[in-house]
Structure 1
Amino acid sequence: MDLKVFATVFATVFLAELGDKTQLATLLFSADKPASKWTVFAGSASALVLAAGIGVLAGTWLSQHVSAKHLQLVAGVGFILIGGWTLRSALTG
């Protein structure tokens, strides 16, 4: 296992997930008194693992058909567009 890659992916995904809709939904489910906290944790963790697995499979498939440089370019442009849209919404809304 490449620990540098592991640490980079862990830190990036961890920071991206903090305060997002997934974490807020998990918080709300765990705030429900009759809900088992372990069940909420297991369900949330399983969903994140499945979503990550789909991302790995999709990334593997895409990398066989599209160059890494083009994928990085598309991802970068996508993040810039989402950031611009978010800023616009914040400033006008």
Structure 2
Amino acid sequence: MDWHLLGLSFITVFLAELGDKSQLAAIALSGANAKFPRAVFLGTIAALILASFLGVIVGEGTAQILPAQYAKAIAAAGFAIMAVRLLWFSAEESESIE
């Protein structure tokens, strides 16, 4: 096993997930269901594991079909499109509010 890659993956996902909406949802659920914090913990862990598993499977399949350079270019284009759409619609919404 590549321990460096394991550690890098752990740190990256841990920092990316820290304080995101899924963590806030877990806080809200555990607050609303204070009698069953273990159930909330196990449910959120299972969801994160499943989401990570699906990401790894899709990533592995994509890596077998596309060269890494193309996959990175597609991802970069997708993020750029999302950024432009966010900026565009944010500007339109702020103008319509005023």
TM range (shorter): 0.7 to 0.9
After superposition, the CA RMSD in angstroms is 2.1
User: How many residues in Structure 1 have an aligned counterpart in Structure 2?
Assistant: 93
What's the TM-score once normalised by structure 1's chain length? 0.79
**Corresponding position: 1:69 with 2:69:** yes
1:64 Cα deviation from its structure 2 partner: 1.3
Report Cα offsets for 1:19-77 as digits up to 9, x if no partner: 21111111100111444111100000001001111111111111111111111222233
TM-score by length of 2: 0.76
Distance of 1:15 and 1:65 partners within structure 2: 29
Opposite residue 77 of structure 1, the aligned amino acid is A
Counterpart of 1:19, as a letter, is: G
Unaligned runs of 5+ in 1: none
Determine whether 1:40 maps to 2:40: yes
* Within-5 A mapping of 1:22-37: 22-37=22-37
**Percent of aligned positions with the same letter in both sequences?**
35
